[in-house]
């Protein structure tokens, strides 16, 4: 699809798009992200020498969402671009979808889909909804499902003001109260936003004398997490889960072929 036509499609959802050159550290022939300039936010599409074809599969003006498909020798990739609460976003979509509604559904983990059983189609993608167990909420890429029967128990250490992120240096959501179980301890720094395990950390420190000064912090990769109280994030309205524990789930973007190195870091 020609760049002028793509610009017109993005304008339909009230967005600007810029086509930019690849950066030295870009690993893919195409990357889609959200940038910011003096005129506000815009979608940036960076194209390499062997960039894939881009096609718009679906546009929903009222929802301010657009579904893109890219095609190259390795197959097709889907990206949902749109506006969520306060800002634009871009998100890789797993599976075979051709509509915006199907893309949103594909981003839900199986546990969320099962919990939504019986909910009317028109209510499936609301940020909060009533389910059999109580209520379910979404804030950005995280889902919170009420589990009123949950009790932390002896081994459940309650952490306060604990960050949660999807890795890749994304801005964390902060839970007022959080309990986690299992997962893999990792070290995280700006150079390794998805985290490295103990063995990898030792190799990095050994091979680079400056590495120990990279502002490392300890996180846990892919734990089972419960949260309650206020969930805050600069891009979203604060969510108040009150005094009810909620199971925390991350969307399925990490399952998309176009998504690289996505992890749930707590």
**Domain total of the chain:** 2
Q: Same domain for 69 and 149?
A: no
How confident is the model over 145-165, as pLDDT tens digits? 999 899 997 777 899 999 998
Q: Same domain for 46 and 66?
A: yes
Number of other CB atoms surrounding residue 57 within 10 Å? 17
Number of other CB atoms surrounding residue 228 within 10 Å? 22
Q: Return the higher-pLDDT residue of 168 and 2.
A: 2
CA 252/CA 177 separation, integer angstroms: 24
Q: Same domain for 63 and 147?
A: no
Q: Same domain for 240 and 137?
A: yes
Arithmetic mean of pLDDT, 215-235: 91
- The number of angstroms, rounded, from the C-alpha of 151 to the middle of its chain's C-alpha atoms is 28
Report the chain's mean pLDDT, rounded to a whole number.
86
Q: Same domain for 17 and 142?
A: no
Q: Are 142 and 248 in contact (CB under 8 A)?
A: yes
In a domain, 127, yes or no: yes
Q: The pTM is what?
A: 0.84
Confidence of residue 261 (pLDDT cuts 50, 70, 90): very low
Q: Determine which helix (DSSP H) or strand (DSSP E) holds 91, and give its type and residue range.
A: strand 87-93
Arithmetic mean of pLDDT, 208-217: 90
In a domain, 92, yes or no: yes
Q: Same domain for 81 and 136?
A: no
Q: Same domain for 166 and 141?
A: yes
Q: Same domain for 95 and 118?
A: no
* pLDDT at position 46 over 70: yes
Boundary (domain end) residue, out of 68, 88, 106: 106
Boundary (domain end) residue, out of 75, 106, 137: 106
Segments forming the whole domain that contains residue 120: 110-183+222-255
Q: Same domain for 137 and 9?
A: no
Arithmetic mean of pLDDT, 21-43: 78
In a domain, 202, yes or no: no
- CA distance to 120, 164, 183, per residue, from 115 (Å): 13, 22, 23
In a domain, 209, yes or no: no
* pLDDT at position 82 over 70: yes
- The number of angstroms, rounded, from the C-alpha of 209 to the middle of its chain's C-alpha atoms is 33
Number of other CB atoms surrounding residue 68 within 10 Å? 26
Q: Same domain for 161 and 49?
A: no
CA 257/CA 187 separation, integer angstroms: 25
Q: Same domain for 93 and 118?
A: no
- Percentage of residues in the chain with pLDDT exceeding 90? 44
Boundary (domain end) residue, out of 91, 106, 121: 106
Arithmetic mean of pLDDT, 102-128: 89
Confidence of residue 262 (pLDDT cuts 50, 70, 90): very low
């Amino acid at each position: 699809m020609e760049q002028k036509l793509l610009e017109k499609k993005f304008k339909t959802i009230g967005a600007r798009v810029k086509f930019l050159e690849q950066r030295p550290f870009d690993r893919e022939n195409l990357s889609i992200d959200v940038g910011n300039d003096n005129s506000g936010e815009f979608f940036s599409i960076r194209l390499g020498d062997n960039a894939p074809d881009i096609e718009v599969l679906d546009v929903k003006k009222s929802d301010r969402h657009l579904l893109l498909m890219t095609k190259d020798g390795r197959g097709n990739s889907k990206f949902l671009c749109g506006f969520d609460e306060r800002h634009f976003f871009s998100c890789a979509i797993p599976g075979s979808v051709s509509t915006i509604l199907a893309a949103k559904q594909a981003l839900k983990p199986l546990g969320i889909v099962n919990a939504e059983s019986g909910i009317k189609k028109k209510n499936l993608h609301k940020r909060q909804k009533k389910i059999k167990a109580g209520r379910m909420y979404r804030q950005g890429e995280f889902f919170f499902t009420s589990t009123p029967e949950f009790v932390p128990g002896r081994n459940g250490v309650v952490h306060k003001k604990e960050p949660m992120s999807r890795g890749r240096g994304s801005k964390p959501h902060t839970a007022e109260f959080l309990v986690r179980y299992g997962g893999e301890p990792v070290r995280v720094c700006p150079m390794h936003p998805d985290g490295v395990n103990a063995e990898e950390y030792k190799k990095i420190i050994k091979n680079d004398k400056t590495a120990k000064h990279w502002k490392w912090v300890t996180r846990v990769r892919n734990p089972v997490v419960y949260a309650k109280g206020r969930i805050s994030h600069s891009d979203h309205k604060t969510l108040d889960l009150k005094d009810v524990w909620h199971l925390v789930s991350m969307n399925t973007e990490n399952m998309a072929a176009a998504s690289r190195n996505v992890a749930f870091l707590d």
